[in-house]
Amino acid sequence: MTSQHRERRRYDKVSADRTREELIYAVLSLPVECDMRMRALVETLNDLPDVYPCSSCGGHPDEEGRENPAPEGCFYLQFIVEPTETGFMSLGIIDLAARNVDCERLAVQVLNTTDSPRLVIFHMLGRDGADPDAVAEEIRALCRKWKVSLKGVREHKKNVRKQKALEKVMGSHLGKDPRR
């Protein structure tokens, strides 16, 4: 089957005026449900420096009534990476882990959700029974190998990074007329 004949997944676009800071604040503030199949991978990405999981699906046989469902045997995980040296290292580890685990059934790609190059979101796609737990294990092994500490990262995000994002969001709205 050629790529032009494959059914393309439809994603809701984020409005162009949304900023990385707004999305990071939302990701760190809102309670999130996670499919059991995705839990270890989502938690692992939450422990990586400068990476913020946004959305995931572990695959479902019944796609009706679900928002952006993945078919059974497939999964996806969308995430934001801050444009920092540690964010770039974390993204490299995520990509390498996917290739090490199963380069045929796993892919890390850019997911353009706006028309703004300032907000780039990534996603990991798994198909044909790819194992998200194996990816989580490989990410942790690569972090040990490359001496990337996961200790305290999640707490820093919740206690420090969330406040920084709020301050940036509030600062960007100062001086704007809220009625416009």
Distances in Å between the alpha carbon of 71 and those of 75, 109, 111, 129? Answer: 7, 18, 19, 10
| Total number of residues shown for the chain | 180
Does residue 53 contact residue 42 with C-beta atoms inside 8 Å?
yes
Q: How far is it, in rounded angstroms, from Cα 153 to Cα 16? A: 29
Rg value, the chain, Cα: 17
User: Do the beta carbons of residue 97 and residue 145 sit within 8 Å?
Assistant: no
Q: In sequence order, which residues have a C-beta less than 8 Å from that of residue 174 and are 6 or more positions away?
A: none
- Strands, DSSP E only, in the chain? 51-57, 75-81, 106-111, 121-126
In the numeric block, the tokens 């974390």 are attached to 90
> What is the predicted pLDDT for the residue at 180?
40
> In this predicted structure, what is the pLDDT of residue 105?
98
The residue assigned the tokens 């760190």 is: 28
pLDDT in tens, the chain (180 residues): 334 434 444 445 555 566 888 888 998 988 878 899 999 999 999 999 999 999 999 998 886 777 778 989 999 999 999 999 999 999 999 999 999 999 999 999 998 777 777 788 999 999 999 999 999 999 999 999 999 999 999 999 999 999 999 998 888 665 454 444
Q: What φ, ψ does residue 145 adopt, rounded to 5°?
A: -60, -45
Distance CA 84, CA 64 (A): 39
What local confidence, expressed as pLDDT, does residue 159 receive? 92
**For 157, what's the count of Cα atoms within 13 Å in the CB-facing half-sphere?**
25
Contact in structure between 140 and 32 (CB atoms under 8 Å): no
- Residue 17: predicted pLDDT: 60
Residue 7: per-residue pLDDT: 43
